């Protein structure tokens, strides 16, 4: 596939907070439409894309999920023309002061998240990290106009533009998890001329950042034989260089642990080695923190796998990724799917019953 960067930048320029994913879903659907046989939207708003198997008889199915929702803020009150907010998804208040945002009221209003200077606040707050209660959003309008245009419950999204960095890196908001949506797009492009033995469902899920609602409901509707969650993971950097983080620019991670079926872990590893795709093994001893947590236990249970893309500064407006890691993730997914044979499901079952 050609460079995925332009599409990724487009995704990073869109809102789509948890529960309000329509703006980004429309763009993903437009990109995926020529690469799949069917497109549909679930009752909760997840995007379902089906690439059918070439054989006419009933084929097994794999579901690959990447959540498309983003973290952000919601207006909880208006005070003297300033907006009080709280989080949608996990946000560290320390990163908010000075950030550019868009308030999605009657009109899209540009704003900035602000924190009053120490010299103007109560001495008990001086020098301390800010809490969300101390963060306000300023849209620059007089109080009466603000109250006409903005209401409690309006959404506030980051508006940091994507920035190209050296070494093939890209920074922007919502790389968690638009990076994985881009990887699924690379995969679909790799498969466009391949005669498949399995039905392939690509799903851009909703609400992962708050309750994994899309991950829990889409497999229930599709009833796949195996599921793969593609999400971001923590990249190494100063103060984050132990076993819980992974190098950027060295390929995706393949998860192993209670949330991952051993057969799928071993198969992803062997496929990566066969096709010389660099990767790291990511130990996930408990839940993976991805849609796989809920997908694994849908119905009577579904064998699951987790693939991660290393990202720095997760859950901030300046997340960072090496674009080649996204391309490699897409190629790994495509290679895994190409290696799915009609008897793969039998092998998976035998793995659990030696």
Between CA 254 and CA 230 the distance in angstroms is: 10
What is the maximal distance between C-alpha atoms in the chain? Answer: 73
Structure-block tokens of residue 114:
């602000």
320 labelled catalytic: no
The sign of the CA dihedral 311, 191, 225, 341 is negative
Between CA 85 and CA 259 the distance in angstroms is: 35
The packing angle between helices 262-274 and 344-352, to 10°, is 130
Distances (CA, A) of 304 to 172, 205, 246, 269: 29, 16, 21, 14
| Cβ(188)–Cβ(47) below 8 Å | no
What φ, ψ does residue 178 adopt, rounded to 5°?
-65, -25
Write down the catalytic residue from 190, 208, 209, 324.
208
253: number of Cβ within 10 Å = 25
Between CA 130 and CA 346 the distance in angstroms is: 55
Number of C-alpha atoms within 13 angstroms, CB side, residue 277?
A: 25
R_g of the chain computed on alpha carbons = 21
Active site residues: 208
């Amino acid at each position: 596939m050609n460079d995925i960067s332009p599409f990724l930048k487009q995704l990073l320029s869109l809102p789509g907070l948890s529960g309000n994913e329509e703006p980004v879903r429309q763009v993903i659907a437009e990109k995926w439409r020529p690469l799949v046989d069917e497109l549909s939207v679930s009752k909760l708003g997840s995007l379902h894309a089906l690439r059918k198997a070439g054989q006419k008889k009933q084929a097994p199915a794999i579901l690959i999920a990447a959540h498309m929702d983003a973290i952000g803020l919601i207006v909880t009150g208006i005070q003297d023309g300033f907006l009080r907010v709280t989080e949608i998804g996990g946000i560290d208040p320390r990163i908010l002061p000075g950030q550019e945002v868009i308030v999605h009221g009657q009109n899209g209003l540009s704003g900035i998240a602000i924190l009053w200077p120490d010299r103007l606040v109560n001495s008990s707050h001086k020098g301390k990290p800010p809490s969300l209660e101390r963060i306000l959003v300023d849209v620059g309008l007089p109080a009466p106009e603000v109250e006409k245009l903005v209401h409690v419950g309006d959404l506030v999204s980051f508006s940091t533009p994507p920035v190209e960095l050296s070494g093939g890196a890209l920074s922007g908001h919502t790389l968690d998890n638009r990076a994985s949506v881009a990887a699924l797009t690379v995969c679909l492009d790799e498969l466009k001329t391949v005669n498949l033995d399995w039905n392939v469902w690509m799903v851009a899920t909703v609400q992962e950042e708050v309750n994994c609602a899309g991950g829990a409901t889409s497999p229930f509707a599709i009833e796949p034989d195996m599921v793969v969650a593609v999400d971001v993971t923590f990249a190494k950097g100063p103060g984050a260089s132990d076993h819980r983080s992974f190098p950027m620019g060295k390929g995706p991670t393949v998860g192993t642990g209670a949330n991952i079926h051993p057969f799928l872990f071993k198969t992803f590893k062997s496929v990566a080695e066969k096709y010389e795709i660099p990767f790291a093994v990511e130990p996930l001893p408990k839940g993976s923190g991805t849609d796989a947590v809920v997908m694994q236990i849908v119905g009577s249970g579904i064998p699951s796998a987790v693939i991660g893309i290393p990202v720095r500064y997760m859950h901030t407006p300046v997340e960072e990724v090496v674009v080649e890691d996204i391309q490699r993730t897409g190629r790994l997914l495509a290679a895994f799917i190409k290696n799915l044979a009609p008897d793969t499901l039998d092998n998976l079952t035998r793995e659990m019953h030696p």
